[in-house]
Amino acid sequence: MDRLSVEALRPFTKVVDEKLQLDLFLKGVRCGHCVHKIEKALNSEENLSRYQFQEDGHNLQISAPRVEDLAKIISLISQLGFEAIPIQEGEDHKQKILEFKKALKQLAVAGVCAGNIMLFSTAIYLGAPENFRQFFNGLSMLLVAPVLFYSAQPIWRGFGKALRHLQFNLDVPIALALVFGTSLSVVSYFTGGESLYFDSIAVVVFIILSSRFLLNQYVSGIYRRNLVTLIPGVFQARVFRQGKAQFVAPSDLNRGEEVILYRGESCPVDGELISEVSVFDHAVISGEAEPLSLSRGDKVYAGAKLCQGEARVRVSRVGDQTRVGQIVSAALSSVKTGDEVGFRYVQWFTLFVLSSSFLGFLYFLITAGPALAFERSFALVIVACPCAISFGLPLIQFLSGRLCLKNSMLVKDPSKLHQLKNINQVCFDKTGTVTEPKVVVNKEDLFKFSERQRQQVLALELSIDHPISNGFKAFVDGNEELPAVTDFTYLPGRGIEGQVLGQKVSVLATDAGAQGEKFLSVVIDDQAVGKIGVSSDVKLSFQPLLQFLARQQKKISIISGDQAEQIEPIWKLVPKEARHQCLASVTPEEKKVFIKNISGPSLMVGDGVNDVAALNAATVGVSMPGALESNQDFADVALLKGDLTLIQTLFTISDKVNATHRRLFTFTAVYNSLCVILALMGWITPVWAAILMPVSSVTVIALVTTRLGVRPWK
């Protein structure tokens, strides 16, 4: 880039960690293969400090020491055939709208022109008079021009990329067929020949663009919701400025400022507790269900929920620098591209078709002359072009994504469904994944106490925001006035105590019982008066899923931040032949390491930011409903219902997808190989090739839709 271009980049850059950071919108990215090509080029760039793909691959964030380095990277991306547009915050949405409108216009032009050309062709095939035939053919030639020069622009760009990098992609045979077909049709029109393929050209372009448009809309629809905040409920922060409390965006906080929190609020920053003893629930980070009692000077992490009273936190880190931000950034930096087996198949088959066409052309040029050589090689390129694959694969992804959505599963990358067949390890988080989110209090135990004692227990329990305490809310009428609590104290890992109705009341945890049930011992004035059973029920759908996975010979692990005694009853539910490993008290980083060390493909099921890195490290990550936005954005599959048997449904859909892939590849291989032979033998003329080309595409649509049991228009 020249100096003017370099200077033009400066307004779009910002300094982050002493490096220049630039956000780019990438035009021309259509699939995981495109992202992979860009990644490969970026990995070889020495002056690139960091890069990070965001959302559906259209957004790229790069960091480098100098603006000249950023300009060089943009130039490198341009050489790959993609347009890298510098953007400021919020501008990516505008670019996507422009891309959407242009794609829709191209599709509309192709559809209108193809429809009219087909009307003219129908009249000709039905025996229109000669003067009308010439007139209709002339109109068809005029109408195919905007299809080729405007609607087919994405195909020409893909063809150009293939030529520049000496590769074979889906657009190569399509572009060559369009060039040969158009050339022959134009020559035939002016010489009075019969080889006119304007209708087939327009229809093929329309079908391909339609399929690609459907897939792009499915993918972009999933990413339409930007990740504004990583912590649920934290959209603003209460900060003490100029002697009074103000609400600001968390990103506007400065190091050293004081954030004020009240009971039930989540901390928007990493910082230091500067108030007295406070109780925080760090489950969003650690997965540990038990809140922690923190004292002045202790660290508080972003996402920690204040369980009782009021607290003040001095800001030390915000945004990406927080522990939550680092976990998410680590996951983002290793986002995996999709499966490209089908596209590699197309590359090799395209090479085969082009080689066969070229060799056939040379043979017939020598033995029969240029006219026959051109006719047969052109027929081969048209009829054997794997165009069916070019929209058959995206159609499978689109329809399988729709099928998952119909079954309450949101699939971010439908190509992941193809990989489920190889999964041999399934890992579960505990809290909120295999257990119900709400704690159940044994009603019979509670009502064994006297009315006064029950009021004392309820008043004490509702003085703190805690999973166990929340279970007692079901026994309190909204209008009921409970006794006041004084001298409230939280005893980490043990329970709570305070003064209620003039007596010292303590509710203390005892050892866990069968099936994970806990007992709370109620002590009044140092005298034990009874016990209350509480439990976090295992989801009813967990055991049927375990039985299914065992039948499928999958190995099962449970990895959780909870204590071993809380996990052990759940681990006993796993069939012995399917058990792999049970890990307790693990950190998010340790979860990620465990997943990475698994030999073979793995599936991880979890919720919360503490599972983000593990979900991303797994071959397929599945998030539970109600999980954090960051979790659902980095998981490959997000369950929209808490029913774990949906994972069994996911495997069933995966089997359908793989069977559809096999059906598609088998049909394509047999059909195209047969067409190559018949075209070279002269049994398929260019006219019949033009007829068979859309017929094969319609056949593929029938194969895909009948196997998956859905229709794209429903």
What confidence tens digit (pLDDT) does each residue in 639-648 have?
A: 877 789 999 9
pLDDT tens string 663-702: 888 888 788 788 888 888 888 866 576 567 667 767 777 7
Identity of the highest mean pLDDT range in 271-280, 484-493, 604-613:
271-280
> What average pLDDT does the segment 20-45 reach?
73
Predicted local confidence at residue 686, as pLDDT: 61
Three-state DSSP class for 14? Answer: strand
Three-state DSSP class for 487? Answer: strand
Asked whether 609 and 417 are in contact (CB, 8 A), the reply is no
Residue 297: pLDDT over 60: yes
Q: Kindly state the tokens that stand for 169.
A: 């992609």
* Least-confidence region, from 334-338, 376-380, 544-548: 334-338
CA 278 to chain CA centroid, nearest Å: 37
In the chain, % of residues over pLDDT 70: 77
Q: How far apart are CA 587 and CA 54, in angstroms?
A: 26
Give the CA count within 13 Å in the CB-facing half-sphere of 281: 19
Closest by CA to 587, choosing from 560, 612, 623, 563, is 560
Q: How far apart are CA 200 and CA 174, in angstroms?
A: 12
Residue 399: pLDDT over 70: yes
In the chain, % of residues over pLDDT 90: 13
**DSSP state at residue 322:** S
Q: How far apart are CA 632 and CA 22, in angstroms?
A: 26
Hey, how many other C-beta atoms are within 10 angstroms of the C-beta on 564? 12
Backbone angles phi and psi of 439, in degrees to 5: -85, 135
**DSSP state at residue 147:** I
Q: How confident is the model at residue 426 (pLDDT cuts 50, 70, 90)?
A: very high
Cα dihedral 521, 525, 527, 532, rounded to 10, equals -20
Residue 108: pLDDT over 60: yes
pLDDT tens string 160-175: 877 877 766 667 777 8
Q: How far apart are CA 268 and CA 239, in angstroms?
A: 11
Beta strands in 55-157 (DSSP E): 59-64, 83-87
Residue 70: enclosing H or E segment and its boundaries? Answer: helix 67-79
Q: How far apart are CA 376 and CA 676, in angstroms?
A: 10
The Cα-based distances of 57 to 69, 619, 643, 658 in angstroms read 21, 19, 31, 25
Give the CA count within 13 Å in the CB-facing half-sphere of 126: 8
CA 707 to chain CA centroid, nearest Å: 24
Give the CA count within 13 Å in the CB-facing half-sphere of 691: 8
Predicted local confidence at residue 333, as pLDDT: 43
Q: How far apart are CA 624 and CA 539, in angstroms?
A: 12
pLDDT tens string 648-663: 999 999 998 888 888 8
Residue 434: pLDDT over 90: no
**DSSP state at residue 150:** I
Three-state DSSP class for 241? Answer: strand
Residue 225: pLDDT over 50: no
Question: Tokens 């391909």 — which residue?
Answer: 208
pLDDT tens string 359-385: 887 888 788 876 677 678 777 776 766
In angstroms, the first-to-last Cα distance of the chain is 49
Say if residue 683 is exposed, middle or buried (CB neighbours under 10 Å; 0-12, 13-18, 19+): exposed
Q: Kindly state the tokens that stand for 326.
A: 């680092």
Residue 120: enclosing H or E segment and its boundaries? Answer: helix 91-125
Predicted local confidence at residue 219, as pLDDT: 45
Predicted local confidence at residue 438, as pLDDT: 67
Give the CA count within 13 Å in the CB-facing half-sphere of 694: 15
* Least-confidence region, from 120-129, 200-209, 343-352, 473-482: 343-352
> What average pLDDT does the segment 601-606 reach?
92
Asked whether 636 and 604 are in contact (CB, 8 A), the reply is no
**Type of residue numbered 33:** H
Q: Which residue has the higher pLDDT, 94 or 635?
A: 635
Predicted local confidence at residue 578, as pLDDT: 93
* Least-confidence region, from 88-97, 455-464, 488-497, 698-707: 88-97
* Least-confidence region, from 322-336, 384-398, 517-531, 600-614: 322-336
Give the CA count within 13 Å in the CB-facing half-sphere of 626: 10
371: left (phi over 0), alpha (psi -120 to 50) or beta: alpha
Q: Which residue has the higher pLDDT, 336 or 10?
A: 10
Closest by CA to 209, choosing from 316, 98, 357, 104, is 104
Q: Which residue has the higher pLDDT, 637 or 196?
A: 637
Residue 710: pLDDT over 90: no
Mean pLDDT score of the chain: 77
**Type of residue numbered 221:** G
Q: How confident is the model at residue 339 (pLDDT cuts 50, 70, 90)?
A: very low
Asked whether 468 and 532 are in contact (CB, 8 A), the reply is no
Question: Tokens 């499928």 — which residue?
Answer: 552
Residue 40: pLDDT over 50: yes
Closest by CA to 109, choosing from 146, 157, 155, 153, is 146
Antiparallel, parallel or unpaired: β 637-639 and 620-623: parallel
* Least-confidence region, from 35-49, 294-308, 335-349: 335-349
Q: How confident is the model at residue 335 (pLDDT cuts 50, 70, 90)?
A: very low
> What average pLDDT does the segment 613-621 reach?
88
Q: How far apart are CA 64 and CA 93, in angstroms?
A: 25
Beta strands in 326-419 (DSSP E): 409-411
Predicted local confidence at residue 650, as pLDDT: 94
Backbone angles phi and psi of 24, in degrees to 5: -125, 145
Q: Kindly state the tokens that stand for 173.
A: 């045979």
Three-state DSSP class for 316? Answer: strand
Give the CA count within 13 Å in the CB-facing half-sphere of 223: 19
Predicted local confidence at residue 704, as pLDDT: 75
Closest by CA to 317, choosing from 291, 295, 292, 299, is 299
Q: How far apart are CA 314 and CA 642, in angstroms?
A: 37
**Type of residue numbered 410:** L
The angle at the Cα of 32, spanning 352 to 384, to the nearest 5 degrees, equals: 25
Any residues with CB less than 8 A from the CB of 359 and at least 6 apart, and which?
A: none
